[in-house]
């Protein structure tokens, strides 16, 4: 059927609410960056441990729970799912205010990761049923701008709130004994409570209506969601395989991949220990190496992806055919993941770089860098989204070209930006860099979600989340922290070094540019051949 070109009534309000959800999600996720120096001083931990908190601990649960929650978004009421998720992660953010050690802070990040796991799958799926294909570049531009607003707000709010509290309360005299960084977590938790209430009252649109593809109601979305969770969770996945009577070949693939993952994990731990040895973390009275924790979490994430692909192949052949066998879908996910390694590595440590290199205070850093990053992070997507709609002419190739231009230029500018001799020069250079580096998101995301059927957008977003989170958020900040520790705390060198993944990313985009039209045209044929009634 032909996609409907009209915008569904209430779409702009829905876009504002979902964008606000994304903004608060990034605020709660990234506030750790501006608070890092104070947290390090109070909890006596290093940059590698901060990278662990900022990335790895959050990443594992965010990635794992995005899969069942993405499946739930494909079958249940998305507005209800989003409202409950926002409430959960806001409470988890506030819990960090009472952290007196690494363990409770890690548990808070774990809770934020679980709650935020539904935001992108459910939010994207919801908006794609409000807006037709011809306007989705703009939609993803607004969503990307909201991400920039959240990142900037986290720096401004976190820096100002923490310094205000510390200035007005001498050590040991603050209410509840809270330090400034702890108070900042409480403040960050408040906006989500209001947005949760607004989301609960938002109207749910017909699924697939804007694409002209009728989507029947899911009779048991919670059972399906639980099935995904058990099928992908390490250990529980073997129970699922046994109950399904999986053939020997499936077992051999699963166990063989596990063996390769274990070997790779051991090699990564050994290499990290040699590069930057760190004292162990004490978790619940047990001493654990930060490097062991980092790479075990990464290995678990890779195994979860293996289990997901096997589960789709066994239980949802059309989704497997449309997602896992489409080169363009896989290329979009790979490109976004590699750029996430750069983005999270850079944004996770740039506030600390500014404070250390130019002697700025947390509040000044939060205000200056937060406002600059916010403004320019909004400008880039709002240029790229409508531009990609205009140059696509119904073809995704134009959108890929916009992404390619952004990600060819941005890595070349990074060394120049971080070599600035003073803070004024840094911000002038960062302004150009920021506009260009944020232009990749709207066209790439619009391309990715147009390559799958409406009922598969939640699980596609979840697959993107788990891969980009484990390898982007999970590895980017950790590697920057690792390089910094190995080079005597040289954050400039560490931040610039993370851009060396760019050549691989550009090569993948060239391949995507050559074949994306063909793969989008073949989407319905792939689904029908696998048994989808479309």
| Between residues 417 and 481, the one the model is more confident about | 417
Gap between the Cα atoms of 101 and 44, Å rounded: 9
pLDDT digits (tens, 9 = 90+) for 196-219: 999 999 988 888 766 666 677 778
pLDDT digits (tens, 9 = 90+) for 155-192: 778 878 887 777 876 555 555 667 778 888 888 899 99
pLDDT score at 408: 93
Task: Name the percent of the chain lying above pLDDT 90.
Answer: 23
Contact yes or no for 77/71 (Cβ under 8 A): no
Gap between the Cα atoms of 308 and 229, Å rounded: 9
Q: How confident is the model at residue 409 (pLDDT cuts 50, 70, 90)?
A: very high
pLDDT at 294 over 80: no
Q: What is the mean pLDDT of residues 267-296?
A: 75
Pair of tokens at residue 461: 């977003």
pLDDT at 58 over 80: no
Q: What is the mean pLDDT of residues 234-257?
A: 90
| Between residues 251 and 360, the one the model is more confident about | 251
Per DSSP, the residues of 485-501 read: HHTTT-HHHHHHHGGGG
Gap between the Cα atoms of 72 and 78, Å rounded: 8
pLDDT score at 374: 77
Long-range contact pairs involving 242-246 (C-beta distance under 8 Å, separation at least 24): 244/314, 246/314
Residue 480: how many other CB atoms lie within 10 Å: 33
pLDDT score at 516: 92
Contact yes or no for 63/301 (Cβ under 8 A): yes
pLDDT score at 328: 95
| DSSP annotation of 131 | S
Q: What is the mean pLDDT of residues 469-486?
A: 79
Gap between the Cα atoms of 276 and 266, Å rounded: 16
pLDDT score at 266: 93
CA 115, distance to chain mean position in Å, is 13
The full set of domain ranges for the chain reads 11-204+221-529
Helix/strand/coil for 325: coil
pLDDT at 86 over 80: yes
Pair of tokens at residue 1: 């059927």
Residue 222: how many other CB atoms lie within 10 Å: 13
Gap between the Cα atoms of 460 and 121, Å rounded: 8
Q: What is the mean pLDDT of residues 334-347?
A: 88
pLDDT score at 157: 82
CA 271, distance to chain mean position in Å, is 26
pLDDT digits (tens, 9 = 90+) for 435-455: 898 888 888 988 998 898 888
Pair of tokens at residue 356: 């250390």
Those residues with Cβ within 8 angstroms of residue 75's Cβ, 6 or more apart along the chain or in another chain: 218, 220, 221, 224, 225
**What architecture does CATH give domain 11-204+221-529?**
Up-down Bundle (1.20)
| Between residues 40 and 73, the one the model is more confident about | 73
Q: Which residues lie across from 439 on neighbouring strands?
A: none
| Between residues 399 and 47, the one the model is more confident about | 399
Measured over the CA atoms of residue 261, residue 264, residue 270 and residue 272, the dihedral's sign is: negative
Gap between the Cα atoms of 486 and 123, Å rounded: 40
pLDDT score at 2: 44
Gap between the Cα atoms of 402 and 396, Å rounded: 10
Contact yes or no for 210/129 (Cβ under 8 A): yes
């Amino acid at each position: 059927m032909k996609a409907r070109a009209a915008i569904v009534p209430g779409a702009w309000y829905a876009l504002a609410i979902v964008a606000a959800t994304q903004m608060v999600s990034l605020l709660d996720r990234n506030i750790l960056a501006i608070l890092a120096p104070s947290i390090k001083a109070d909890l006596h931990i290093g940059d590698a441990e901060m990278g662990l908190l900022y990335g790895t601990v959050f990443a594992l649960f965010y990635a794992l729970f995005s899969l069942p929650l993405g499946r739930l978004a494909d079958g249940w009421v998305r507005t209800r799912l989003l409202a409950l998720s926002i409430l959960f992660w806001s409470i988890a953010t506030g819990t960090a205010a009472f952290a007196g050690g690494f363990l409770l802070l890690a548990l808070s990040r774990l809770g934020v990761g679980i709650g935020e796991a539904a935001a992108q799958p459910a939010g994207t799926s919801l908006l794609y049923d409000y807006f037709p294909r011809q306007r989705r570049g703009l939609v993803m531009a607004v969503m990307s701008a909201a991400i920039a607003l959240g990142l900037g707000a986290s720096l401004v709010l976190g820096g100002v709130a923490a310094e205000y509290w510390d200035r007005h309360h001498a050590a040991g005299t603050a209410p509840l004994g809270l330090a400034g960084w702890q108070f900042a977590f409480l403040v960050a938790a408040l906006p989500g409570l209001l947005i949760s209430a607004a989301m609960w009252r938002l109207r749910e649109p017909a699924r697939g209506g804007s694409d002209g593809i009728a989507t029947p109601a899911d009779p048991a979305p919670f059972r399906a969601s639980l099935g995904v969770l058990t099928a992908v969770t390490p250990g529980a996945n073997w129970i699922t395989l046994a109950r399904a009577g999986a053939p020997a070949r499936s077992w051999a693939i699963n166990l063989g991949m596990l063996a390769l993952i274990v070997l790779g994990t051991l090699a990564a731990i050994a290499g990290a220990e040699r590069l930057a040895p760190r004292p162990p973390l004490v978790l619940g009275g047990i001493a654990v190496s930060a490097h062991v924790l980092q790479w075990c979490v990464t290995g678990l994430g890779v195994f979860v992806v293996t289990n997901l692909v096997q589960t789709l192949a066994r239980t949802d052949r059309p989704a497997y055919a449309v997602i896992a066998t489409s080169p363009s879908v896989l290329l979009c996910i790979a490109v976004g993941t590699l750029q996430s390694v750069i983005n999270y590595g850079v944004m996770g440590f740039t506030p600390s770089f500014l404070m250390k290199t130019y002697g700025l205070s947390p509040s000044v850093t939060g205000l200056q860098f937060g406002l600059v990053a916010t403004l320019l992070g909004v400008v880039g997507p709002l240029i790229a989204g409508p531009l990609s709609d205009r140059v696509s002419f119904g073809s995704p190739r134009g959108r890929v070209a916009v992404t390619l231009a952004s990600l060819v230029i941005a890595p070349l500018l990074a060394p120049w930006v971080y070599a600035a001799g003073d803070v004024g020069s840094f911000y002038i250079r960062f302004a150009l860099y920021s506009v260009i580096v944020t232009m990749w998101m709207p066209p790439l995301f619009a391309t990715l979600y147009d390559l799958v059927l409406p009922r598969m957008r939640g699980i596609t977003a979840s697959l993107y989340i788990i891969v980009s989170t484990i390898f982007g958020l999970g590895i980017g900040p950790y590697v920057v922290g690792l390089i910094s520790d190995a080079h005597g705390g040289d954050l400039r060198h560490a931040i610039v070094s993370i851009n060396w993944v760019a050549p691989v990313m550009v090569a993948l985009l060239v391949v995507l540019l050559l074949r994306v039209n063909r793969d989008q045209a073949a989407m319905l044929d792939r689904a029908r051949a696998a048994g989808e009634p479309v």
